[in-house]
């Protein structure tokens, strides 16, 4: 009977390689034994071997959810969490959000039935605020731990603490490189000590998965190029015309660059003869809508070669089959923190050798491949060996706020995997203090500090939103919309028909002299007034999906405020013409309110060309072309975000403020002695 085919068993659509063929399949028993026996299991294996998609399923099979507990799998990136969850749901034949779900900031696709939950590492940290021992989970897998993202590093430290209290919890750490020993030693009790009766040797094991990989031939360019986008386009066309079949994966740094490359390629494709094999270009970056992400994983139609243009997401987090050619720009966009300026920027930086090797390896998954590096061999040799852990190059204010709220009072002596430089900790404490989140003893203030920690916003925006409830600003309704708009990952304005002119015209229609924040507010209001109309968005070059998302985020933020006891609905929505709150008009109250949170991000306009300087006068900043102040004049502005591209620092989301306000709301920072005003 058992051998006969059961007609009632649905035949699974032939959408994917049976997981039984994945290298990890042979290790199922060994993995489950290790997870059962030891608190900590470190899994080392080539990308694509099946760690992320199969380990949670193994645990599910073995009954780790039998008592109603869940399995959590954390990812450093949202896009990885959502796409892998979709994949595992499909493999298990369930709807996403049922047995398998995901949870990322402002988007929870889980239900009471969810047993396997993919989430970002940052979100699991947040869950600890309400469930400090993470009791709802029986197994927690920290995926891509070798990437050393800020949140995953902190998460590992906290899980180590949790394991000291819970001997039923199992932690699985997955890593593509050989940082395994380091992770194992980090969790293990000290020599001679025991945790729950287990000594260092009995605490954990490393399980290695032999991946099948094929040789990858590496080619460098001979002459260095200063335009890797053009070089990438040339390389793609060369592969397409002179190399055999096989899809291409191109590593670039960001969305705009990827879109530009696709535009450039479009022109070249138009020139191709119709007899030639077709070329299908697909983008892959964070913030791409889920359905668009899925195209990337689908097989190319017949007589078509797929070209995927990706950020470093495809380096390890997600695996795309059938890639034979990799083109590596040699660059990556990383968040770095300039402790001197006290500002965080997104910089385009050379990759590390470890990243370059990882990228090349993506070409040899199904058969021998080729990797074209758009840099010289000398350049490769000069690269850093490995990427610095994020914790050593980040603005630590957000995590320190989280740690303090979790009751970890000594953030200097915290058990970090790699301790950050003390200057970064000091900077973070200073910033949190100036925002009013800490008192002079570096304790969280109540309720301001704890509320800031609870809000799922960066500390500066959290402060801004909380200020808006104060009577002198009375603009909580507006600020909720502004904050919601600022959390969007994709641009609000999009050219539906590819016309940049239409996009600019639409932008101008909503823009106001006070700046980008109020402009965003206008967009949000107009969208809501239109009844969330798709047509309205088409006519105004607006991104409908993003705006729908903003509405949802706004609701969630409002729910936090209600929990804090702020009656959001009672605050009348008044038009800008209405004078209230001491006779100060609404737009000014909003700009003042922004200054209470963003004061550390102030700049003064320098020239007519959209240039600004920092408060100390030492650094030149440029208004992002999307800003109202790209064309208009201002004196002082505060801004939300900063990004560096090719040596130029751009600031985004600017609003006009007055120096007096900065002095009033942040006297410590603007060091004005009494009487000087």
Q: From CA 24, how far away is CA 141, in angstroms rounded?
A: 16
List CB contacts of 111: < 8 A, sequence separation 6 or more: 97, 98, 101
Q: How many residues bind ligand ADP (CB under 6 A)?
A: 18
Q: Which is nearer to Mg ion, 174 or 640 (CB)?
A: 174
Q: From CA 225, how far away is CA 639, in angstroms rounded?
A: 34
Q: Following DSSP, what letter does each residue of 266-334 receive, concatenated?
A: HHHHHTS-TTSPEEEEEEE-TT--HHHHHHHHSPPPTTEEEEEEE-THHHHTS--TTEEEEEE-SEEEE
**Contact with ligand ADP (CB under 6 A): which of 34, 41, 49, 626?**
49
Which residues in 501-520 contact Mg ion (CB under 5 A)? none
Phi, psi of 271 (to 5 degrees): -80, -10
Q: From CA 346, how far away is CA 480, in angstroms rounded?
A: 25
49 binds, among ligand ADP, Mg ion, none (CB under 5 to 8 A by kind): ligand ADP
Q: Does 16 bind ligand ADP (CB under 6 A)?
A: yes
Q: Which is nearer to Mg ion, 74 or 640 (CB)?
A: 74
Q: Following DSSP, what letter does each residue of 481-546 receive, concatenated?
A: HHHHHHT-SS-SB--TTS-HHHHHHHHHHH-BTTBHHHHHHHHHHHHHHTTS-HHHHHHTTB-HHH
| Residue 231, CA atoms < 13 Å, CB-side half-sphere | 20
**Min separation Cβ 325 and ligand ADP, Å:** 17
Candidates 47-55, 163-171, 253-261, 569-577; binding stretch for Mg ion (CB under 5 A)? 47-55
Using alpha carbons, select from 207, 147, 165, 169 the residue that is nearest to residue 72. Answer: 169
Q: Which is nearer to ligand ADP, 27 or 401 (CB)?
A: 27
Q: Count the neighbouring beta carbons within 10 Å of the beta carbon of residue 618.
A: 9
**Min separation Cβ 308 and ligand ADP, Å:** 13
Q: From CA 547, how far away is CA 542, in angstroms rounded?
A: 8
Q: Does 110 bind Mg ion (CB under 5 A)?
A: no
87 binds, among Mg ion, ligand ADP, none (CB under 5 to 8 A by kind): ligand ADP
**Min separation Cβ 77 and ligand ADP, Å:** 13
**Contact with ligand ADP (CB under 6 A): which of 31, 32, 34, 47?**
47
**Contact with ligand ADP (CB under 6 A): which of 35, 44, 50, 403?**
50
Site string for ligand ADP, 611-650 (x = CB under 6 A): ----------------------------------------
Residue 239 · residue 325 · CB < 8 Å: yes
List of E strands, 366-518: 369-373
Which residues in 65-84 contact ligand ADP (CB under 6 A)? 83-84
Q: From CA 220, how far away is CA 231, in angstroms rounded?
A: 12
**Contact with ligand ADP (CB under 6 A): which of 27, 28, 44, 51?**
51
Q: Does 58 bind ligand ADP (CB under 6 A)?
A: no
Q: Does 22 bind ligand ADP (CB under 6 A)?
A: yes
22 binds, among ligand ADP, Mg ion, none (CB under 5 to 8 A by kind): ligand ADP
321 binds, among ligand ADP, Mg ion, none (CB under 5 to 8 A by kind): ligand ADP
3 state DSSP class of 105: coil
**Min separation Cβ 48 and ligand ADP, Å:** 4
Q: From CA 632, how far away is CA 655, in angstroms rounded?
A: 11
Q: Does 295 bind ligand ADP (CB under 6 A)?
A: no
Alpha-helical (H) ranges within 176-279 are 180-187, 228-242, 255-270
The token pair at 309 is 């243009």
**Min separation Cβ 585 and ligand ADP, Å:** 51
Q: From CA 265, how far away is CA 251, in angstroms rounded?
A: 15
Site string for ligand ADP, 300-339 (x = CB under 6 A): -------------------x-x------------------
Angle between helices 586-598 and 516-529 (to 10 degrees): 120
Q: Does 52 bind Mg ion (CB under 5 A)?
A: yes
Strand order in the sheet with 304-310: 216-220, 369-373, 323-328, 247-251, 304-310, 278-284
Using alpha carbons, select from 564, 573, 552 the residue that is nearest to residue 485. Answer: 552
**Min separation Cβ 529 and ligand ADP, Å:** 38
**Min separation Cβ 157 and ligand ADP, Å:** 23
Which residues in 175-214 contact ligand ADP (CB under 6 A)? none
Which residues in 354-413 contact ligand ADP (CB under 6 A)? none
Using alpha carbons, select from 387, 348, 308, 381 the residue that is nearest to residue 228. Answer: 348
**Min separation Cβ 443 and ligand ADP, Å:** 41
Q: Which is nearer to ligand ADP, 300 or 584 (CB)?
A: 300
Q: Which is nearer to ligand ADP, 50 or 515 (CB)?
A: 50
Q: Which is nearer to Mg ion, 91 or 660 (CB)?
A: 91
Q: How many residues bind Mg ion (CB under 5 A)?
A: 2
Q: Does 28 bind ligand ADP (CB under 6 A)?
A: no
List CB contacts of 335: < 8 A, sequence separation 6 or more: 344, 345, 346, 347, 390, 393, 394
Q: Does 297 bind ligand ADP (CB under 6 A)?
A: yes
Q: Please confirm whether the linkage preceding 294 is cis (ω < 30° from 0).
A: no
Candidates 42-50, 251-259, 424-432, 614-622; binding stretch for ligand ADP (CB under 6 A)? 42-50
Candidates 44-52, 101-109, 123-131, 346-354; binding stretch for ligand ADP (CB under 6 A)? 44-52
Q: From CA 62, how far away is CA 33, in angstroms rounded?
A: 10
**Min separation Cβ 117 and Mg ion, Å:** 16
258 binds, among Mg ion, ligand ADP, none (CB under 5 to 8 A by kind): none
Q: Does 253 bind Mg ion (CB under 5 A)?
A: no
Tokens 């070249």, residue located: 268
Candidates 47-55, 148-156, 474-482, 549-557; binding stretch for ligand ADP (CB under 6 A)? 47-55
Nearest residue to Mg ion, scored by beta-carbon proximity: 52
Q: Does 102 bind ligand ADP (CB under 6 A)?
A: no
Cα 64 versus chain centre, distance = 29
Candidates 15-23, 347-355, 418-426, 464-472; binding stretch for ligand ADP (CB under 6 A)? 15-23
**Min separation Cβ 75 and ligand ADP, Å:** 10
Using alpha carbons, select from 304, 314, 300, 306 the residue that is nearest to residue 248. Answer: 306
Binding site for Mg ion (CB under 5 A): 51-52
Binding site for ligand ADP (CB under 6 A): 16-17, 22, 45, 47-54, 83-84, 87, 297, 319, 321
């Amino acid at each position: 009977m058992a051998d006969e085919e059961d007609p009632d068993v649905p035949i699974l659509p032939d959408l994917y390689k049976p997981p039984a063929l994945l290298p990890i399949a042979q290790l199922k028993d060994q993995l489950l034994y290790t997870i059962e026996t030891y608190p900590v299991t470190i899994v080392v294996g080539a990308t694509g071997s099946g760690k992320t998609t199969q380990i949670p399923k193994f645990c599910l099979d073995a009954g780790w959810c039998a008592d109603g507990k869940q399995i959590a799998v954390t990812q450093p990136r949202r896009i990885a969490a959502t796409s892998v969850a979709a994949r595992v749901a499909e493999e298990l034949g369930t709807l996403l959000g049922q047995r398998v779900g995901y949870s990322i900031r402002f988007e929870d696709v889980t239900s009471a039935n969810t047993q396997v939950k993919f989430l970002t590492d940052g979100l699991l940290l947040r869950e600890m605020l309400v469930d400090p021992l993470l009791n709802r989970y029986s197994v927690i897998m920290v995926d891509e731990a070798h990437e050393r993202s800020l949140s995953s590093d902190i998460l590992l430290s906290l899980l180590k603490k949790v394991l000291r209290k819970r001997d039923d919890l199992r932690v699985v750490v997955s890593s593509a490189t050989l940082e395994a020993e380091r992770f194992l030693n980090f969790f293990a009790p000290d020599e001679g000590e025991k945790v729950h009766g287990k000594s260092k040797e009995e605490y954990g094991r490393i399980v290695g998965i032999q991946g099948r990989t094929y040789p990858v031939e590496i080619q460098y360019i001979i002459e260095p190029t200063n335009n890797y986008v053009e070089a990438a386009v040339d390389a793609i066309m060369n592969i397409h015309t002179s190399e055999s079949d096989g899809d291409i994966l191109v590593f670039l740094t960001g969305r705009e660059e990827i879109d530009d490359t696709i535009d450039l390629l479009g022109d070249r494709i138009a020139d191709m003869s119709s007899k030639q094999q077709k070329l299908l270009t697909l983008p892959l970056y964070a913030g791409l809508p889920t359905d668009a992400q899925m195209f990337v994983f689908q097989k190319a139609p017949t007589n078509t070669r797929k070209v995927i243009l990706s950020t470093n997401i495809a380096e390890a987090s997600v695996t795309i089959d059938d890639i034979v050619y990799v083109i590596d720009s040699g660059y990556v966009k990383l968040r770095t923190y300039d402790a001197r300026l006290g500002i965080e920027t997104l910089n385009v930086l050379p990759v590390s050798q470890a990243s370059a090797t990882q990228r090349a390896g993506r070409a040899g998954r199904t058969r021998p491949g080729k990797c074209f590096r758009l840099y010289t061999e000398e350049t490769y040799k000069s690269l850093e060996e490995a990427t610095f852990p994020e914790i050593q190059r980040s603005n630590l204010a957000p995590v320190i706020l989280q740690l303090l709220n979790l009751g970890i009072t000594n953030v200097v002596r915290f058990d970090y995997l790699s301790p950050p430089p003390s200057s970064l900790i000091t900077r973070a404490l200073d910033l949190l203090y100036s925002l009013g989140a800490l008192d002079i003893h570096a304790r969280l203030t109540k309720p301001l500090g704890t509320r800031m920690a609870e809000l799922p916003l960066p500390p500066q925006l959290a402060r801004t939103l909380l200020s808006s409830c104060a009577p002198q600003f009375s603009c909580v309704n507006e600020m909720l919309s502004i904050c919601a708009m600022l959390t969007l990952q994709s641009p609000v304005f999009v050219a539906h028909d590819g016309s940049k002119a239409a996009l600019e015209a639409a932008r101008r229609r909503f823009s106001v002299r006070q700046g980008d924040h109020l402009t965003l507010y206008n967009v949000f209001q107009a969208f809501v007034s239109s009844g969330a109309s798709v047509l309205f968005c088409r006519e105004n070059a607006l991104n409908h999906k993003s705006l729908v998302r903003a509405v949802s985020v706004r609701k969630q933020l409002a729910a936090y405020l209600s929990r804090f006891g702020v009656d959001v609905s009672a605050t009348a929505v008044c038009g800008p013409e209405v004078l209230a709150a001491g006779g100060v008009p609404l737009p000014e109250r909003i700009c003042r309110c922004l200054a209470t949170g963003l004061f550390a991000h102030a700049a003064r306009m320098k020239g007519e060309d959209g240039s600004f300087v920092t408060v100390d006068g030492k650094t030149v900043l440029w208004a992002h072309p999307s800003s109202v102040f790209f064309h208009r004049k201002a004196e002082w502005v505060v801004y939300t975000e900063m990004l560096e591209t090719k040596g130029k620092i751009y600031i985004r989301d600017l609003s006009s403020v007055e120096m007096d306000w900065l002095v009033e709301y942040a006297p410590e920072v603007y060091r004005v002695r009494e009487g000087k005003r």
